Amino acid sequence: MRSHILAIDQGTTSSRAMVFDKNMSVVGQGQKEFRQHFPKSGWVEHDPEDIWETVVWSMRRALRGAGLGADDIAAIGITNQRETTLVWDRQTGKPIHNAIVWQDRRTADICNQLKAQGAEDLVARKTGLLLDPYFAGTKVKWLLDTMEGARQRAEAGELAFGTVDTYLVWRLTGGKVHATDATNASRTLLFDIEKGAWDPELLDLLGVPEAILPEVIDCDGDFGETDAAVLGAAIPIRGVAGDQHAAVIGQACFSPGMIKSTYGTGCFAVLNTGETLVRSQNRLLSTIAYCIGGKTVYALEGSIFVAGAAVQWLRDGLKIIGKASDSGRLAIDADPNQNVYLVPAFVGLGAPYWDAEARGAMFGLTRNTGPEEFARAALEAVCYQTADLLEAMYKDWDGRGTQTVLRVDGGMVASDYTMQFLSDILDAPVDRPQMLETTVLGAAWLAGQAVGLWPGQEEFARRWALERQFVPEMDESIRAAKLAGWRDAVSRTLTR
């Protein structure tokens, strides 16, 4: 009997896979990093073959670790880095260019031109998004306009577009299925989130032919079966969701007002607004939280482009730490009398500022500033940015049952220092779950419940388990002074 679930988590810097048993416990896993490409300032790319090869390697390693074969897997769930964009040949499967990563800013001019045409209101009304290089739509336009012959081939139906989930489904099924889920579709600038369909007016605005678009289905829909050659037997693919949406599910944030924040390469805070589509007045995103069993649930989202990436910068750029976990130790040793702020706008600033042209800066440096202060500033920057997001969320949600506890997940939340500072600066409890890998858990749950192996929403939510709650300890006057210093630093960094 097939009694296990295989979940793929294709991220920005690595691919991984986990095997779960019927009790939702991890019994095998594999993870592999891949190379980042930076062809020009502000450009970020991935080699699609690196994505595919590391996914396959991770799946096989996870199965070996669990002592299982493909015949033991009831279903596969997929979660992925969102907005990263690929276009490939339908016949050969070969991409026409490297994948353009969500962090990439090359389409800033396209966005500015569309804004000048007065298109941002139309885009916001239909998609809940803003005109920013972050999203997939302008990346597709750039690819079709830039690669020789691409637009003609796209219009002839010879090319296929997809975000990473779509590309993986295509490859896993041997090119038989070209599909995405509602959450990933909602991040393209091409999808009307109220109607739940690709929008002809938006397609025309961005010059994207309908012929290249994938089919959009529910997060727990049927995405076909894997080609037996991939893992040794055909396996149903029964769950797909973008990484932040999968984390909402994995954190069991099924009730309106619940908030989760994921700290990976970037940071993404999501507030469940239920079946109500709340249109932000504070430059947050209105998005689809998930679509399960034909029911669409909406959310408000705030996106921070640089969170864990700032720690990677300390390690790989400045080389002041050997591994990510060293950052917390250094931060503890920082001089408390130095007020050093890092505004990590390495690829622009996301919500609620949305300044694609802003670049990173540090403020408050003295002759005594050293690695310890740099480490503390990098960790605290993530917390300050979260405070900006939650302030905007509370304004938009207008106190309608907003949960004041923040559920957190992702690699950075292992740092007690960071989580305590986050609670202090938010003046709110921060709940760290026992299962930190809630993104991959969410993908696994989608697949597991779809095939009847795992419980439904209510029982799954009851099983959510707290590891530690961080509560505020900071004096209000200190909190106010620190936030004022942060906002002054951001104001000096903005270009508009």
Domains of the chain listed by start with CATH number = 4-243 (3.30.420.40), 252-433+465-496 (3.30.420.40)
pLDDT at site 32: 95
Identity of residue 442: G
pTM, 2 dp:
0.86
Which residues does the chain have with pLDDT short of 70? 399-404
DSSP 8-state symbol, 491: H
| Three-class DSSP category at 244 | helix
pLDDT at site 22: 92
DSSP 8-state symbol, 199: -
Pairing of the two strands 361-363 and 406-409: unpaired
pLDDT at site 404: 66
pLDDT at site 205: 96
pLDDT at site 356: 78
pLDDT at site 355: 85
Whole-angstrom distance, CA of residue 490 vs CA of residue 374: 17
Whole-angstrom distance, CA of residue 216 vs CA of residue 184: 9
A 10 A CB-CB count for 368 gives: 9
